[in-house]
Structure 1
Amino acid sequence: MKRMIVIGAALVLAAMSLAGCKRNESPVQFHAQGQPQSLSEWHVLDVRDGRLRFNAGVEPYALNTALFSDYAHKLRTIWMPAGTKANYHAQDAFDFPVGTIISKTFYYPRGEGDAVLRVAENADETRDGLDLSKVRLIETRLLVRRENGWVALPYVWNAEQTEATLARAGETIPLTLHKPDGSAKQDFAYMVPDENQCAGCHGTNNTTRELHPIGPKARHLNRESPWHPGENQLARMVALGRLEGLPKDGVPHNARLDDATASVQDRARAYLDVNCGHCHSKVGPADTSGLWLDAGTEEPRRLGLCKPPVAAGQGTGDHLFDIVPGRPQDSILVYRMDSLDPGAMMPELGRSTVHEEGVALISEWIGAWLGSCSSADPNVAMQ
């Protein structure tokens, strides 16, 4: 009997060893060229034991205020080759080394039947990966830093939630969005962007048209890590040997949308920065609009105050100015955020629903501005 126990124990240890070796056979795989057809070929994320998990060395991160995408939740990760570091930049996205893989997985909490839920994100839902019995995976977008620059690759998850396949031409996914209390039900078409649409957002410089990350900037990442309570995300990157050049103080910080202690102005500016600022800036694709909504813009006129549109066409809704102080209902900015008309809605990509909370926030912000646009030199001020 003792001999059988010893033999049994030895077999268990051998099996565990083989299992460990098997897992070690699939580290993150950077593809320096080509377009792998399956997300699993990258080994960044792993479906295992009913959960979507990160591979070894893959670091999750969160933003202070995130881009709205039809109420989808997002799991974001960064992986960099061993021994490499990103270089800190105060305003632009960090300079990541060749081999970096940034992933963003879009998912929804499951409702009854095929419905998905419109609920706020909860950090606890990603602490041990995503429980696939509670969420529905929609897509995972990769942004890959190759020798010649960044490449964007969208992958769509199958119905079995076992694999995601490259969708170069994009895809339309019909969804039904529910509030948990049943007070709202909305059928909509979730749009997975094609390669050109990915470039439309990530080509943040209208001159070079080169793709760049949008989220991994100091002001977005400067916050506590949801996965490591008490640790600042930027300080953690430094401690892991993944970031150099982080100053001891003066690091920019955007407000969190859900922070009730932050001012309306700080939350509104953070929202516009991450949702609109990568396009509406002095160098972005909407540079000729004269409407700059990035965090670095302070001039009220550039932010839209009493500024007539340059070439908005039907997107004006017959309104005269981008922002009319104290009158959000007369402001083009609010009109376009609240529209689903393809010729008027802003942002024009990445949503098929209206972000009601975002519209309410920007309306409250504009409602606090003083003055009017009735004179050539209006006496206006932000509150």
Structure 2
Amino acid sequence: MKRLVPMRVALSLILLPVLSLALFACGGPESSTPRYIAEGNPPLLSDWGMMASNGRSLTLGPRVEPYDLVTPLFSDYAHKQRTIWMPQGVSANYRDDQVLDFPVGTVISKTFYYPRGSGDDEVLRSLDHAPGWRADGLDLAQIRLVETRILVHREAGWAAIPYVWNSEQTEAHLARAGDIQRLTLVAPDGRREDFVYAVPTSNQCAGCHAINNTTREIEPIGPAARHLNRDFDYLSGPQNQLAHLAAVGYLGTWPGSEATPRDADYLDETADLNDRARSYLDINCAHCHNPTGPADTSGLHLRHDTAPGPHLGFCKPPIAAGGGTGNRPYAIQPGEPDQSILLYRMQITDPGSLMPELGRAVEHVEGIALIYDWIASMSPSCTD
């Protein structure tokens, strides 16, 4: 004799897979489970579980915390969704003047995307949040995802792993050899600029993140206290990012926002011009240009705490002559931006001479204007 299944149970058995598919289609938290992968290079971004996309919505996984920087690194006007995740039971230690001391198991992600233009390969130049930005992910209707970079802290140290998104925006695939995408950047005034967006190789990722030229150890660049000490508009409302990380168990004891250093927002015209310029150079240049960095032989140190003088570039002649100087005499000639090598290297787009060497193919109009005004504001001091 057959045993009859109650109608309610039968319906639940039928609807369960349908509901599961619906949850995935909505991109809800159930669609991704974050995990630490101790070795190897997973072929898919979804293997990490930090985020999930159905092509319409990208949603962050449980306990994956978004964050932003006071002044971000410029990357050809790409927008970025940054996240931090840690396994249960561990947290970062506060460090006053360095990147937070993240425990083994930490996974940091950075997703690069653009607002879409009218053409297939058109992207819009905008400093505001791209359409569809959300604290918990992205509405992809007006967004073009390009790449997501993973930094994972393993027992042997940090590893950098790049992924490139497919055209359906449903998955990103491992791209250890990098990728090239030809795009057209459309400015607010309609001006168009064709450029090549270069997804870095694994080695190039490691090269930028090996900020100590002696040890060559990889580490994050952005999540230092001075770059994080700002409010973020979480789903629950605005809160200081360091306070939030502490509240969710991702950060141990810290001295509070007032006692924590903070870089200036380079776009905040109410802030001191020198502070804004130093903040911009700090995040964009100092990971190479510091006393122990990959550009240590240049003698040009662009950290936020470098004292004004030759190491900051004032009246400093180039170590080696060549096209990269623009025939200008000093790294920074106070009062003379048009005679300063630093500004020249920011303005040119020749791959052999531009700075930074990676992550830029177009001029950063706002950054150039800031550094121009900063140098112009200085009292002339170089003597021939």
Instruction: Give me the TM-score of the superposition, normalised by structure 1.
Output: 0.91
Distance across 1 between alignment mates of 2:101 and 2:198: 29
Which residue type is aligned with residue 158 of structure 1? N
Which residue type is aligned with residue 200 of structure 1? G
Alignment of 1:1-383 (within 5 A): 24=30, 26-48=32-54, 50-114=56-120, 115-122=122-129, 125-182=133-190, 184-227=191-234, 228-248=236-256, 249-311=258-320, 313-374=322-383
Distance across 2 between alignment mates of 1:284 and 1:75: 27
Kept in 2, the 8 Å contact 1:75–1:126? The answer is no
Q: How far has the Cα of 1:132 moved from its partner?
A: 1.2
Spell out, residue by residue over 1:112-169, the C-alpha distance to the aligned partner (whole angstroms, 9 max, x if none).
0221100113287223421111100000000010110000001001111111111111
Q: Secondary structure at the match of 2:46?
A: helix
Spell out, residue by residue over 1:190-213, the C-alpha distance to the aligned partner (whole angstroms, 9 max, x if none).
000011211121000011000000
- 1:12 and 1:199, CA in 2 relative to 1: closer, same or farther beyond 3 A? closer
Q: How far has the Cα of 1:372 moved from its partner?
A: 2.8
Identity percentage of aligned residues: 54
Kept in 2, the 8 Å contact 1:57–1:79? The answer is yes
Q: Secondary structure at the match of 2:310?
A: coil
Residue 3 of structure 2: aligned partner? none
Spell out, residue by residue over 1:19-53, the C-alpha distance to the aligned partner (whole angstroms, 9 max, x if none).
77996584112210111111111111100471111
Distance across 2 between alignment mates of 1:144 and 1:10: 39
Kept in 2, the 8 Å contact 1:155–1:167? The answer is yes
Instruction: Give me the TM-score of the superposition, normalised by structure 2.
Output: 0.91
Q: How far has the Cα of 1:350 moved from its partner?
A: 0.7
- Unmatched 5+ stretches in structure 1: 376-383
Q: How far has the Cα of 1:250 moved from its partner?
A: 2.1
- 1:127 and 1:294, CA in 2 relative to 1: closer, same or farther beyond 3 A? same
- 1:66 and 1:10, CA in 2 relative to 1: closer, same or farther beyond 3 A? same
Which residue type is aligned with residue 199 of structure 1? A
- Unmatched 5+ stretches in structure 2: 1-5
More off after superposition, 11-20 vs 349-358: 11-20
- 1:359 and 1:181, CA in 2 relative to 1: closer, same or farther beyond 3 A? closer
Q: How far has the Cα of 1:295 moved from its partner?
A: 1.1
Distance across 2 between alignment mates of 1:63 and 1:142: 17
Q: How far has the Cα of 1:76 moved from its partner?
A: 0.2
Which residue type is aligned with residue 367 of structure 1? A
Which residue type is aligned with residue 345 of structure 2? R
More off after superposition, 36-45 vs 47-56: 47-56
Q: Secondary structure at the match of 1:271?
A: helix
Distance across 2 between alignment mates of 1:25 and 1:131: 16
Distance across 1 between alignment mates of 2:152 and 2:13: 43
Distance across 2 between alignment mates of 1:25 and 1:137: 19
Q: How far has the Cα of 1:83 moved from its partner?
A: 1.0
Spell out, residue by residue over 1:258-285, the C-alpha distance to the aligned partner (whole angstroms, 9 max, x if none).
2221111111110000000111011111
Q: Secondary structure at the match of 1:243?
A: coil
Distance across 1 between alignment mates of 2:212 and 2:55: 42
Kept in 2, the 8 Å contact 1:175–1:187? The answer is yes
RMSD over equivalenced CA pairs, Å:
2.4
Distance across 1 between alignment mates of 2:211 and 2:58: 31
Query: How many corresponding residue pairs?
Result: 372
Q: How far has the Cα of 1:12 moved from its partner?
A: 6.1
